[in-house]
Amino acid sequence: MSLNSLLGMGGGRKDIYVSISPACGLEILEIDNSGTIRTYAQAPLEYNDAQREIANYDAFRNTLAELLQSRNIDPMKINVHLNLPTVWFGLKEGIQLLLDDNAITNIVIGELEQSYIFKRKNPVPYWFDAQVSTNSDSRSVFYTAVQEEVIEQIREILTGMGAVLVSVGCSLFADLKGLYVTALAREQMENDGHSWSLMIVNNSGYQLLSLQGKRLLEYYEEPMPLKSFEGEEVYTEIENSVQIALMSSPSSSLVIISESNLVSAELLRERLQFSGQSIAIEENQYRKEPIANFGLNVLPDDQVKVSLSAYGSAAPSGLINNDVNFLGAADKPVEVATFMGITPPVATVFALIILAVISGISFFAASTTEKMANDMQAKGAELDTQITALQSEVQQMEGAQEGKVVVDSVEEIAKTLKNNRTKIMAYAALGESIPKDLYLTYFITGDNGLIAIKGCADTVEDVYVFFKNLKDSLVDSNLRVSNLGLRSGSLDKVVNDTVSPFDSAPYIFEITNMTDAQLQSYINKLTPPAAATDENGEPIEGETTEQ
C-alpha cells in the first residue's frame, strides 16, 4: 500500500494541459484516449519576447483561474501539464567521448550561461545526443532550457490553487508531436530516409530545423525584430535571410509554422523559392480551420483557436525521439490533500508521525549541541586570528601606496583576460570555419568582442557555411552578413583561370557585429599614415601626414 493510499490522498485527479504562447495566449484543454478534445478554453496573456517569459504572473494566475472556472474545472482536483514557449535551443559539438552525463550537463550549463537570458536567471537544462558519424572521435548534443525561476513561480501559483504541476515541456517538441498526431507531417516523420525542413517563425525571429524522419540533424536560429518592420517589409526581410539557409540544406519538404500575428505562414510560403512540397500552418490570427477532433462541449468558435503546440503537448509520449520534461523523472510531484480531504483517522496518523519526528529531533539536538558549540568556538578563534593578520597587511599596503594613484588591478586583469579570450576564440573559430573555396581579405578583432571579416567565395553556399560555423562557434557574437553580392568588374576577369583566387572568386561578402562608425574607426587605426612629400613630390624623410 502506498503512502498516498494510507493517508487518503490519491485518486480523483484529472490531467489538464496548459499551454502558453505569444500569439495564442493562455490555453487549457482536456483530451480523451482517442485524442478528441473534450474541454477547451483560451484567453489572451501578455508575453515578454525579450526576456522570454510571462510578462505578469498575477495576470497568469487570474486568467488561469477564470478559464478553469468557466469550464467548471476544480483546480484542487487536477494535474497540470505545462507547455512553455521555447526559450533556448542549441547544438554543442566536440565533446569528449569519455565524459559522463554529469560532465556534459555542466558543459551545457556553461554554454547557456553565456546567453543574455541565463546570465540573469539559472537555467534548467535538458539535452540529448545529436546524430553523428560512427567514425567521429567526439560527441555532439542538442540542448534546451527554461528559467528555473519561471518554473518555481508557476509551481507556486498552481500549488496555491490546489493543483499539482507534473510536467513542463516546450513548444518546439510539442510542435513536432502535433505535426505527427494531426498527420500534417506524419508522412515526412515516418520515413527515416526522408529529408525535410521545419521553419518556425515567432516575434523574435525564426528557427530552421533540418530533419531526417524524426531525427534532428541541424538547428539554426536567426534573431529578427519582426515588430520593427511594417507591412510587406517583414516578408522581404525573412525571405532574404532564410533563402541562403534553405539552399544549403537540400530538403524534399518544407513545413512553415508561424507563431506570430505579424506573419502569415501561407503568404510566406508563397514568397519563398522552394522547389519541393511546402506546408503552411498558422498558429496565429490567420488560422481558418481546426486541426483536431472535438467533443460536443467545444464550441465551433473555440475549435479554430486550438494551437498545434497546445494539442501536441497533450499527445502521448513516444511519438518523437525526445519528449522534453524539465521537471525530470526524479522530480515527480506529491499530491497534497486539502484540509477538508483529511479524515479523523488520517489526522491521527499525521499527529503520531509528527510527534515521533519532534521527539527524535529533540534527542539528537541535545546530544550534539555541546559538541557543535565547542567546534564553533574553536573555528571562531581561528577566524579572528586570520582577520587580524589580513587587516595588518592591508594597513601596510595602504601606507606604502599613500599619495599614489590606486588602480583596481583585479578588475584590469579580468578585463584584459576577457578581451584576449574573446580574440583567441575568434581566431580559433575562424581557423575551424573556413571552407575550401572561400578567401579572406581582412579580419579585425577589437575590444568587447567586436569582429569584422571581409572576403570572397566561389559560391553563396560557401558563404553561408562559413557564416553558420562562425555563429555556432561564437555564441552571442551577434554577427551578421552586412554585405553579399557579385564582384564588380568584367566577366572575363572573373572567369580567367590565370588570376589569383582573391580576384577570380565571384562573390564578395562582409561579416561583422560592428556599426559602420565602429568599423571605419578600426580601419583608420590600422591604415598607416602616408609619407609627407616636398613640392616636387619627393618623400621627406622622417615625416608623415595623417590620413
Going by pLDDT thresholds of 50, 70 and 90, the confidence category of residue 390 is: low
Question: Are 113 and 208 contained in the same domain?
Answer: no
Q: Would residue 175 count as lying in a domain?
A: no
User: Is 382 a domain residue?
Assistant: no
Cell 522530480 sits on residue = 331
Residues 6+ apart with CB under 8 A from 407: none
| 44 and 84, same domain (yes or no) | yes
pLDDT at res. 468: 82
Q: Say if residue 222 is in the same domain as residue 332.
A: no
Q: How does residue 328 score in pLDDT terms, banded at 50, 70 and 90?
A: confident
pLDDT higher than 50, residue 369: no
DSSP secondary structure letter of residue 334? -
Q: Quick check: 213 pLDDT over 50? A: yes
| Domain termination residue (choose one: 255, 271, 286) | 286
347 against 15, higher pLDDT: 15
- What pLDDT score does 222 carry? 85
- Residue 546 neighbours by CB under 8 Å, 6+ apart: 529
- Res 72 pLDDT > 90: yes
User: Is 60 exceeded by the pLDDT of residue 347?
Assistant: no
Confidence band, pLDDT 50/70/90 cuts, at residue 200: very high
The most confident of 346-360, 449-463, 514-528, by mean pLDDT? 449-463
**Residues 152 and 239 grouped into a single domain:** no
Please tell me whether residues 31 and 162 are part of one structural domain.
yes
Distance CA 237, CA 243 (A): 10
Assess contact for 49 and 29: CB atoms under 8 A. no
Q: Which amino acid would we find at residue 46? A: E
Tell whether 239 and 317 lie within a shared domain. no
If you compute the radius of gyration of the chain from its CA atoms, what whole number of angstroms results?
Answer: 30
Does residue 1 have a pLDDT over 60? no
Mean pLDDT, residues 79-106 taken together: 90
Domain assignment of residue 48, yes or no: yes
In the predicted model, is pLDDT for residue 327 greater than 80? yes
Q: Which residues pair with 105 in a beta bridge?
A: none
Question: Which residues, at least 6 apart from 272, have a Cβ–Cβ distance to it below 8 Å?
Answer: 239, 242, 243, 246, 254, 256, 278
> What local confidence, expressed as pLDDT, does residue 344 receive?
47
Question: Is residue 476 a part of any domain in this protein?
Answer: yes
Q: Give pLDDT tens digits for 242-297.
A: 887 777 777 889 999 998 889 999 999 998 888 888 999 998 888 888 888 888 88
* pLDDT level of residue 59 (50, 70, 90 thresholds): very high
Q: Look at residue 363 and tell me whether its pLDDT is greater than 60.
A: no
Residue 357 lies in a domain: no
Instruction: Give pLDDT, residue 496.
Output: 53
Counting residues of the chain whose pLDDT is more than 70, the rounded percentage is 72
Show which of 236, 269, 286 is a domain's final residue: 286
Q: Determine the average pLDDT of the residues in 102-113.
A: 91
Question: Does 256 lie in the same domain as 191?
Answer: yes
Q: Which of 267, 286, 305 is the last residue of a domain?
A: 286
Q: Say if residue 334 is in the same domain as residue 477.
A: no
- Is there a single domain that holds both residue 300 and residue 446? no
Largest separation between any pair of C-alpha atoms in the chain: 112
pLDDT in tens, 481-539: 888 888 776 455 545 545 566 677 888 888 888 887 887 777 777 666 655 566 666 66
How does residue 65 score in pLDDT terms, banded at 50, 70 and 90? very high
Residue 332: is its pLDDT beyond 50?
Answer: no
Q: Pull the grid cell for residue 225.
A: 525584430
Asked if residue 337 has pLDDT above 50, the reply is: no
- For range 200-218, the mean pLDDT: 89
CATH code assigned at 69: 3.30.420.380
Quick check: is 400 in a domain?
Answer: no
CATH of the domain at 216: 3.30.420.40
What pLDDT score does 444 carry? 81
User: What's the total number of domains in the chain?
Assistant: 3
For 221-235, the pLDDT digits (tens) are 888 888 888 888 889
Residue 383 forms part of a structural domain: no
Q: What is the CATH number of the domain that holds 438?
A: 3.30.70.990
Question: How far apart (Å, rounded) are the C-alpha atoms in residues 249 and 235?
Answer: 21
Q: If we measure between CA atoms, which residue out of 257, 95, 84, 263 comes closest to residue 174?
A: 84
Helix or strand run (H / E) with residue 19: strand 14-21
Are residues 259 and 223 both part of a single domain?
yes
CB 463 within 8 A of CB 481: yes
Quick check: is 545 in a domain? no
Do residues 467 and 511 share a domain?
Answer: yes
Confidence of residue 418 (pLDDT cuts 50, 70, 90): low
Please tell me the least confidently modeled range out of 95-99, 223-227, 396-400, 447-451: 396-400
Highest mean pLDDT: which of 391-400, 401-410, 450-459? Answer: 450-459
Average pLDDT over residues 124-129: 92
Shared-domain flag, residues 308 and 267: no
Mean residue pLDDT across the chain: 78
Q: Domain containing 70: what range?
A: 9-126+135-169+291-347
Q: Which amino acid is at 374?
A: N
